[in-house]
Structure 1
Amino acid sequence: MDERPAPRREPGTGPEQGLRELKKQRTRRAIAAAALRLFAERGYEETTIADIAAAAEVSPRTFFGYFPSKEDVVFAEVDDRLAEVAERLRGTPGESPLETIRRGVVDVLEAIVGEHGEYGSVRTGLVLEHPGLQARALRRLTAAQEAVENLLRELCPGMDEIDAVASAGVAVGGMRAVIVHCRRHGHGPASMRTALDRATRVVENGLASVETLVRP
């Protein structure tokens, strides 16, 4: 009989860790979905953290384990998508920086279109109505643009600083504007995808004028 000890497993790895992370993701999404539903039914100001926790079948303490405040739960989807941007926007051999950006942006936008369905318009309405949420949205938008700027500099060493800043602003700002427009006017997922496809072409046409972005 082979009595050699089993390979040592590093802490925080393996199937158990994967299941814990999956459970955390599900809990986070359940809290966010419950919050948006209550905001739609009762109103933002009228909904308390205790209400959200009860609707998601968790304790208020668990709520704070996932979100620092009621304001932050509004942006759960946005924060998740920004994390996906960081994971997906990596160049591959033979791919131009512009193609890398398009691939990552399309994946993320597809996820946004499908996430929370009917509550997407609720989130947009909340941000448009509440100055405090507008300020938080602006900070996240700024962070997203800075992330894209950093990626452009990584993909295009020596890229002109203004080209990087302007390109990031066009990509992030243009897509955000179309999403807000569609949600404000009640567009469904199919209509949003069509609009975002058109917006992607507009953005690509603009970015194609930056020579360093189209070179593999």
Structure 2
Amino acid sequence: MDERNGLRERKKRRTRHALATAALRLFAEHGYEETTVADIAAAADVSPRTFFSYFPSKEDVVFAEVDDRLAEVAERLAEVAPGRSPLETIRMCLADVLWAIVSEHGEYGPVQIALILERPGLQARALQRLTDTQETIEALLREVCPDIGEIDAVAASGVAVGGMQAVIVHCRRHGYDPLSMRTALDRAVDIVERGLSSVEALTRPC
């Protein structure tokens, strides 16, 4: 990627982050139904048209952080370094991504979780995203570990994605501070790693 394209991508990420943060702040201050796309765009100092170039709907902005982090997990997992086992890559990937999650949106993390838990429409979207992510991770595991068993791949992706998602929701729902949340997530990574270490194909260097 050349410098110009790199600058453009960074600007896009900043705008997307600004929109997501503004949306969660407005949802907390004024309510989800009362907040419009125009309100969110104005708070992020962009036009409604720009908002829709990043998010198809107001519902989708609620999942901005989730989508970004899950995409990062998939991208990192697809780049298993020679000589490193897939399990080592998973551990490193989760550690980096979870630190970003702890730092992201600060006080508005609980707002995001509350919205998802309270609204059936958002719950359905969250479940679909979880299912799609597990299938993506499963496919990547099968790609980097051609000899992994079918059930092993399905179970491993479910353990990794489901386990981390459950702990993140728990921490935000109960208002964990950043340090406590990071401690809880590190513990969750240890548990996930122990579970995945029983899958032999994941422990062999590529």
Query: Could you state the TM-score of these two structures normalised by the residue count of structure 2?
Result: 0.94
SS of equivalent residue, structure 1 residue 159? coil
Match of 1:93 in 2: 82
After superposition, residues 1-216 of structure 1 pair within 5 angstroms as 14-89=2-77, 90-216=79-205
SS of equivalent residue, structure 2 residue 52? helix
Q: Does 83-92 or 176-185 show the bigger shift?
A: 83-92
1:15 deviation in Å?
A: 2.9
Tell me which structure has the larger Cα radius of gyration. 1
Letter of the 2:4 partner, please give it.
E
1:18 deviation in Å?
A: 2.5
Q: Deviations over 1:14-40 (max 9, x none)?
A: 433322222222111111111000001
Structure 1: runs of 5 or more not aligned: 1-12
Q: Which is richer in helix?
A: 2
How high is the sequence identity, in percent, across the aligned residues?
74
Q: Deviations over 1:175-195 (max 9, x none)?
A: 110000000100011101100
Q: Deviations over 1:105-136 (max 9, x none)?
A: 22111111111111111101110001111111
Q: Deviations over 1:28-57 (max 9, x none)?
A: 111111100000111111111111111111
Instruction: Tell me, in whole angstroms, the C-alpha distance in 2 between the residues paired with 1:97 and 1:29.
Output: 30
Query: In the comparison of the two structures, how many residue pairs are matched?
Result: 204
SS of equivalent residue, structure 1 residue 157? coil
SS of equivalent residue, structure 1 residue 94? coil
Structure 2: runs of 5 or more not aligned: none
SS of equivalent residue, structure 2 residue 83? coil
1:63 deviation in Å?
A: 0.9
Instruction: Tell me, in whole angstroms, the C-alpha distance in 1 between the residues paired with 2:203 and 2:16.
Output: 39
> Relative contact order (alpha carbons < 8 A, sep ≥ 6): 1 or 2 greater?
2
Instruction: Tell me, in whole angstroms, the C-alpha distance in 2 between the residues paired with 1:56 and 1:114.
Output: 19
Letter of the 1:21 partner, please give it.
E
Instruction: Tell me, in whole angstroms, the C-alpha distance in 2 between the residues paired with 1:23 and 1:158.
Output: 41
Query: Could you state the TM-score of these two structures normalised by the residue count of structure 1?
Result: 0.90
1:87 deviation in Å?
A: 2.4
